[in-house]
Amino acid sequence: MKVNIAESWKQQLQGEFEQEYFHKITERIKQDIANGIQIYPNGKDIFRAFELCSFEDTKVVLLGQDPYHGPGQAHGLCFSVPEGIRIPPSLVNIYKELHNDTGFIIPSHGNLTKWATQGMLMLNTSLTVQAQQAGSHSKIGWERFTDAVIKKVSSGKDNVVFILWGGHARSKVALIDQNKHLVLQSAHPSPLSAHNGFFGNRHFSTCNDYLKAHGKAPIDWQV
């Protein structure tokens, strides 16, 4: 698997790339593709979050679960879809909360690449998925890898904002040193749960207030 990531991530994660479990992930994906199984996102986008946001620039971590499993949706950034793809329901709710929290103008697309280029690591805990089968790659080793990523950010950085929405993301809180980072937790923005604490969480303004208080540039949320 060709891993196209920022040089600083290569240095941070070299030990993971060399481990047997990571080789098993790559072999599983290659085997699926050889068997004609559609995997999302495309190979060049699997590590896109690490390509657009270097380790040294990371100041916010937004944690998702699975890549989108519909055609053309996943492009390596959690919650984001390329322009021209219908905005998914969870992102519709993210936009609603952004508007209510910050005055964000809701766009006609769901491409959040601009967030990633400002120091936001938009990380799914599984980096691949089989078409139309949510969670299909959640047990092939990806979580060991992305847990290591979260630990690296927690131990190697200061004053990072971790945004955890929903039970799966919130289960990762034990990996984060809350004495030196801000952890924002709420319900997931999915239509099934957004009214149980996602709406009104004001995470976007809280994130930026924290960044500014620690001498970091706030995120320009407008896309």
Residues acting as catalytic residues? 66
Tokens of 45: 């986008």
DSSP summary character for residue 174: G
Which amino acid type is present at position 30?
K
Contact criterion met (CB below 8 Å) for 74 and 41: yes
Strand locations in 24-177 (E) = 39-40, 60-64, 120-124, 129-130, 161-165
Quote the distance between the C-alpha of residue 14 and its chain's center: 20
For β-strands 120-124 and 161-165, DSSP reports them as: unpaired
Contact criterion met (CB below 8 Å) for 221 and 204: yes
**Residue written as token pair 């099934």:** 192
